[in-house]
Amino acid sequence: MQISSLFNLAFFLAPLFLAWTVGAFSPLTYSKTSLTEATNITKPGCPSKCGNLTVPYPFGIGLNSGCSLNPFFDILCNSSYNPPKAFLRSNGLEVIGINETKIRIRNRVAWGCLSVDPNQDLSGNYSMDLRGTSFSFSNENKLTVVGCDDIGIISSGTPDFDYFSSCVAICSKTQDLTNGSCSGIGCCQASIPKGLQYINGDMFTLNGHEKVQSFNPCGYTFLAEQNRYEFLAPDVNDPSFVDTITENVPLVIDWAIGNRSCSQVGNTNECVGESVCVDSGTEIGGYRCNCSQGYEGNPYLSPGCIDINECHNFACPPNALCINSRGSYKCSCPPGYLTIDTENAFGCIPLPRRKKTGLYAGLLGGLGLFLLLVVTFWLYKVLKKRRIKQMKEALFKRNGGLLLHQQISSHDHVLEKMTIFTVKELEKATDKFNESRILGQGGQGTVYKGMLPDGTIVAVKKSKQVNENHLGEFINEVVILSQINHRNVVRLLGCCLETEVPLLVYEFVPNGSLYDFIHDDTTGFPFSWDLRLRIAAEIANALAYLHYATSIPVFHRDMKSNNILLDEKYRAKLSDFGISRSVAIDQTHFTTKVKGTFGYLDPEYFQTGKFTEKSDVYSFGVVLIELLTRQKPISTSVTDEERSLVTRFLLTMEENQLKTILDPQLIEHDLNEEHCSVAKLAKRCLNLNGKKRPTIREVTMELESIRTSENPSFVESNIQDESFIEMDSLDFSVEG
């Protein structure tokens, strides 16, 4: 494109942009007149008014007067009222409004009240019959019941159609009632179908209003045009309620001509002068006539619908000329104006004069710069969005997304209940990983407290920067936790792989770790023996579940009090599966690089590199003596020879000096049998020979035996009898 062409384009676009901002354009619109606003409302010589009601053709005032399309459309005008009232000929229903598709009639109410005289029936029902006409009750009506001990019923039992609907309104005191609410407390509403021609309304009480008579002696049911009745609490005790409904809340009737559709009547003579036939849409059939677009008037009377002169309504914008045509109009610009005609708007822009060339050149430069900035910003946003998408895809692969897909394909239910979070969701939940949200830090990463949009409090684990050699540990934790559903194991809610470091989202466990609870004396919460024993049993229960109850046995490999969390009821939950391993059912151990926490590490595993289920048992034994002594596994306040809590504990057991190492809070009076039984169990868990340690299910059974005050030696004496130990005897309390 040449420079001169660009100049000419901008020359016109600049004033166009300015004109748009000041409203020089007008949307293309047209208006439509209703039946009662048309000039030809009735047949010649026929009255158009009955009191305050306008009666348009095909309806007509008078019986057999020839003013209506047929007798069904006759309107009886009763002048004995002041002002006169209009009634349908067929059934005497009072008409209060007529439009192109609906008739609004005065309502009727069924009611029932408490009577002190059992022989006196203080109730009333109603029925309305439109059968034999082309009228039907509209589905814009709602079955409405008002009361505190009432059921309203509407039925339409006819040979051709049997319909029944009910609605119950109850309450026990006026304080239960809410203005504007009609959901069952003091008021209820239900829909009705289209096409009903006969209805019978009845009112029944549930308990005779005996319990609510002081504030609700009566109940009411009626059909109400949608959105015309608004419930108010005083309605349940309003003696004039019936009059209020009949005067202010109409009932709607659909009307149509005959019972045949437009396709059946063909080019009907009833629709005249630029009008079209439209089906009524009810099951009883029938049709109506509508004016075509751009026309107005009464489509049933000659000359029918006439053209709307849109130019009288200022359809065109300023500076434009309006040209009316049949059924439409056209806007054009006079000489000296540029025409801007789009699909939804039209405008006339004054053409510039030569002496204003400098002004428009400046506008051209400004507009060109503006357009350049807009295009540049748009390209920047597009490229940035594409770059972020590519980065997220790369991070997904780097953080083990492909490995996770492989794990999913090899496990049937890995991600059945897990959510894949976006980084935006987790940044919002943790206030962009604010330091004030940090719950704890460890070897595997940092844990933040967060809140999801639904108000759920969660713990978000942000792993440390990892390379491809460590991705297996993260994916391993996702796979293991997604398969575990146990009340004493922290539940995994989801993960995110779109960040520099992978993220895991867990359920939030509010009372911190067992390590902090044991070794922080400032909590002020009493650490009773029963609580310690219950926590020990719950941890053993969780480990036994991992070892024996999962589809593939899982070894935790980092069992320690830091990885045991306490919920709001101080129930123990096992967490941090970053270095856990799944093993085949027939596999007794696996060999790997030694990992774990000093002080909890199995000496046999440390020496051989072979991790077995008994290695988790050893670490659990360390947690047991933490609970007994309230001392840290590795102490910095004693000599090198006495730094190990395990060493000091076993030495006191050999010297029969257990009392010297136990938590003084436990032995305020003296040692008891339970203390000694748990200490002996811990000693067996800490045996340097892994084969001589009990299995975790044996530990679980012995702890349950101690908790229920049974003989602890019962399990110990049967350790060698493998046939006695059955998985059914363990209560794993699996949630699911």
User: ω into residue 303 within 30 of 0, thus cis?
Assistant: yes
Give the CA distances from residue 354 to residues 7, 133, 662, in Å, rounded to whole numbers and listed in that order: 14, 74, 103
Judging by DSSP bridges, how do beta strands 109-113 and 102-105 pair with one another? unpaired
Residue type for 570, please? Y
Catalytic residue chosen out of the listed positions 558, 576, 602, 663: 558
**Closest C-alpha among 496, 571, 494 to residue 537:** 571
Token pair, residue 241, equals: 């309620």
User: CA–CA separation, 681 vs 677, rounded Å?
Assistant: 6
Token pair, residue 383, equals: 């490229």
Report the greatest alpha carbon distance in the chain. Answer: 125
Residues 250/106, Cβ–Cβ less than 8 Å: yes
CA 230 to mean position of chain CA atoms: 28
User: CA–CA separation, 588 vs 101, rounded Å?
Assistant: 82
Residue type for 441, please? Q
Would you call 243 a catalytic residue per the annotation? no
355: Cβ–Cβ under 8 A, 6 or more apart, which residues? Answer: none
Share in percent of the chain as helix, strand, coil (round to 5):
30, 25, 45
- Can you list the alpha helix ranges (DSSP code H) found in 285-356? none
163: Cβ–Cβ under 8 A, 6 or more apart, which residues? Answer: 155, 156, 157, 192, 193, 196
Give the CA distances from residue 498 to residues 388, 395, 400, in Å, rounded to whole numbers and listed in that order: 10, 6, 11
**Closest C-alpha among 716, 720, 691 to residue 618:** 691
Residues 445/501, Cβ–Cβ less than 8 Å: yes
Give the CA distances from residue 317 to residues 13, 231, 335, 347, 349, in Å, rounded to whole numbers and listed in that order: 18, 46, 16, 6, 11
CA angle, 338 then 339 then 341, to 5°: 150
Question: The tokens 């792993």 sit on which residue?
Answer: 463
613: Cβ–Cβ under 8 A, 6 or more apart, which residues? Answer: 547, 553, 555, 588, 695, 696
Residues 157/101, Cβ–Cβ less than 8 Å: no
Exposure string over 58-72, b if 16+ CB within 10 A, otherwise e: bbbbbeeeebbbeeb
User: ω into residue 234 within 30 of 0, thus cis?
Assistant: no
Judging by DSSP bridges, how do beta strands 419-420 and 492-496 pair with one another? parallel
Token pair, residue 575, equals: 């967490």
User: CA–CA separation, 189 vs 449, rounded Å?
Assistant: 45
Exposure string over 309-336, b if 16+ CB within 10 A, otherwise e: ebeeeebbbeebebebeebbbbbebeee
CA-based Rg of the chain, rounded to a whole angstrom?
Answer: 42
CA 711 to mean position of chain CA atoms: 53
Give the CA distances from residue 404 to residues 52, 300, 389, 498, in Å, rounded to whole numbers and listed in that order: 76, 71, 20, 13
Half-sphere exposure of 271 (CA within 13 A, CB side): 19
Residues 461/447, Cβ–Cβ less than 8 Å: yes
Judging by DSSP bridges, how do beta strands 74-78 and 60-61 pair with one another? parallel
Residues 131/171, Cβ–Cβ less than 8 Å: no
Residue numbers annotated as active site:
558
